[in-house]
Structure 1
Amino acid sequence: MKSASSLSQKIIQFLHIFFPIFVSQIALSAITFFDTNMSGRFGTADLAGVAIGTSLWVPVQTGLNGILIGLTPIVSQLLGKNRESDVAPKVMQGIWLSLAVSVIVLVGGALALRPVLDFMNLEPDVRSIAFRFLTAISFGVVPLFAYTVLRSFIDATGQTRVSMFITLIALPVNVGLNALLIFGYWGFPQLGGVGAGIASAITYWVIFAVALLFVYWAEPFKSLQVLRRFHVPSLSAFKEQLKIGVPIGFSIFFETAVFSAVTLLMSRFDTVTIAAHQAAINFASTLYMIPLSICMSLTILVGFEAGSGRLKDARQYGVLGIGCAAAMSLVTALVLLFAGKHVAGLYSTDPKVISLIKQFLIYAIFFQISDAIATPTQGVLRGYKDVNPAFIICFVAYWILGLPIGYVLAEHTSMGAFGYWIGLITGLAIGAVLLLGRLVRVQRRFASEYTTVSAARQV
Structure 2
Amino acid sequence: MNLSDYTKEFSKNLQIAFPVMLGQLGHVMVGLVDNLMIGQLGPAPLAAVSLGNSLVFIALSLGIGFSFAITPLIAEADGAGDIEKGRNYFHHGILLCGINGILLFLLLLLSKPILYYLDQPPEVVDLAIPYLEIVAFSMLPLMIFQAFKQFADGLSQTKYAMYATLLANVVNIIFNYFLIYGIWIFPRLELEGAAIGTLISRFFMLWFIWVILRKKKKFAEYSKWTKKEFLKTAIFRRLLGLGFPTALQMLFEVAIFTATVFLAGTLGTNPQAANQIALNLASMTFMVAVGLGVTATIRVGNQKGLSQFKELRRIALSTFLLVFLIEAVFAIGFIALKDILPAFYIENTEVVLLAAQLLIVAALFQLSDGLQVVILGALRGLQDVRIPTIICFISYWIIGFPVSWYFGKEDQLGSMGIWLGLLAGLTASALMLYIRFDFLSKKLILNKKLKHQEKVWS
TM-score, length-scaled by structure 2:
0.95
Aligned position for 2:223: 226
Task: Read off the aligned partner of 2:81 and give its amino acid letter.
Answer: N
Task: Read off the aligned partner of 2:222 and give its amino acid letter.
Answer: Q
Contact persistence 1:42–1:182 (CA under 8 A): no
Task: Tell me the SS of whatever aligns to 1:411.
Answer: coil
Contact persistence 1:92–1:227 (CA under 8 A): no
Aligned position for 2:359: 361
Q: How does 1:36-435 map to 2 (within 5 A)?
A: 36-114=35-113, 116-222=114-220, 224-226=221-223, 228-229=225-226, 231-411=229-409, 413-435=411-433
Contact persistence 2:267–2:410 (CA under 8 A): no
Contact persistence 1:62–1:252 (CA under 8 A): yes
Displacement after TM superposition at 1:454 (Å): 3.3
Q: Distance in 2 between the 1:435 and 1:320 partners?
A: 16
Aligned position for 1:24: 23
Task: Read off the aligned partner of 2:312 and give its amino acid letter.
Answer: A
Of residues 101-110 and 388-397 in structure 1, the stretch that sits farther from structure 2 once superposed is: 101-110
Task: Tell me the SS of whatever aligns to 2:120.
Answer: coil
Q: Distance in 2 between the 1:274 and 1:412 partners?
A: 13
Q: Distance in 1 between the 2:156 and 2:410 partners?
A: 50
Structure 2: state its 5+ residue gaps: none
Displacement after TM superposition at 1:417 (Å): 2.2
Of residues 159-168 and 302-311 in structure 1, the stretch that sits farther from structure 2 once superposed is: 159-168
Q: Distance in 2 between the 1:187 and 1:351 partners?
A: 35
Q: Distance in 2 between the 1:228 and 1:13 partners?
A: 33
1:254 and 1:446, CA in 2 relative to 1: closer, same or farther beyond 3 A? Answer: same
Q: Distance in 1 between the 2:7 and 2:343 partners?
A: 41
Contact persistence 1:21–1:161 (CA under 8 A): yes
Displacement after TM superposition at 1:350 (Å): 1.2
Task: Tell me the SS of whatever aligns to 1:186.
Answer: coil
1:169 and 1:51, CA in 2 relative to 1: closer, same or farther beyond 3 A? Answer: same
Displacement after TM superposition at 1:195 (Å): 1.5
Root mean square deviation of aligned Cα = 1.8
Contact persistence 2:6–2:315 (CA under 8 A): no
Contact persistence 2:30–2:198 (CA under 8 A): yes
Displacement after TM superposition at 1:27 (Å): 1.2
Contact persistence 2:156–2:298 (CA under 8 A): yes
Q: Cα deviation per residue 1:188-231 (whole Å; 9 max; x = unaligned)?
A: 11111221111111111111111111222212011x23254455
Contact persistence 1:42–1:183 (CA under 8 A): no
Contact persistence 1:302–1:383 (CA under 8 A): yes
Q: Cα deviation per residue 1:106-156 (whole Å; 9 max; x = unaligned)?
A: 222232222x01112433331122111111112221110011010001111
Q: Distance in 2 between the 1:159 and 1:274 partners?
A: 39
Q: Distance in 2 between the 1:9 and 1:84 partners?
A: 30
Q: Distance in 1 between the 2:147 and 2:354 partners?
A: 39
Q: Distance in 2 between the 1:54 and 1:7 partners?
A: 39
Contact persistence 1:184–1:190 (CA under 8 A): yes
Task: Read off the aligned partner of 2:23 and give its amino acid letter.
Answer: S
Q: Cα deviation per residue 1:22-72 (whole Å; 9 max; x = unaligned)?
A: 111111111111112211112222101100011111122023211111100
- The answer to whether residue 31 in structure 2 is matched with residue 12 in structure 1 is no
Q: Distance in 1 between the 2:8 and 2:367 partners?
A: 27
Of residues 337-346 and 224-233 in structure 1, the stretch that sits farther from structure 2 once superposed is: 224-233
Contact persistence 2:105–2:137 (CA under 8 A): no
Aligned position for 1:444: 442
Q: Distance in 1 between the 2:6 and 2:26 partners?
A: 30
Task: Read off the aligned partner of 1:12 and give its amino acid letter.
Answer: S
Q: Distance in 2 between the 1:109 and 1:233 partners?
A: 28
Q: Cα deviation per residue 1:351-374 (whole Å; 9 max; x = unaligned)?
A: 111111111111111111211221
Task: Tell me the SS of whatever aligns to 1:414.
Answer: coil
1:429 and 1:59, CA in 2 relative to 1: closer, same or farther beyond 3 A? Answer: same
Of residues 226-235 and 69-78 in structure 1, the stretch that sits farther from structure 2 once superposed is: 226-235
Q: Distance in 2 between the 1:62 and 1:175 partners?
A: 24
Of residues 208-217 and 67-76 in structure 1, the stretch that sits farther from structure 2 once superposed is: 208-217
Q: Distance in 2 between the 1:389 and 1:395 partners?
A: 10
Task: Read off the aligned partner of 1:29 and give its amino acid letter.
Answer: V
Contact persistence 1:397–1:428 (CA under 8 A): yes
Task: Read off the aligned partner of 1:19 and give its amino acid letter.
Answer: F
- Number of residue pairs matched? 453
Task: Read off the aligned partner of 1:104 and give its amino acid letter.
Answer: L
1:412 and 1:275, CA in 2 relative to 1: closer, same or farther beyond 3 A? Answer: closer
Q: Distance in 1 between the 2:138 and 2:106 partners?
A: 14
Q: Distance in 2 between the 1:413 and 1:401 partners?
A: 21
1:412 and 1:168, CA in 2 relative to 1: closer, same or farther beyond 3 A? Answer: closer
Q: Distance in 2 between the 1:227 and 1:399 partners?
A: 44
Q: Distance in 2 between the 1:8 and 1:264 partners?
A: 42
Structure 1: state its 5+ residue gaps: 1-5
Q: Cα deviation per residue 1:168-198 (whole Å; 9 max; x = unaligned)?
A: 2111111111111111112211111221111
Task: Tell me the SS of whatever aligns to 1:225.
Answer: helix
Contact persistence 2:176–2:193 (CA under 8 A): yes
Contact persistence 1:89–1:226 (CA under 8 A): no
Contact persistence 1:325–1:373 (CA under 8 A): yes
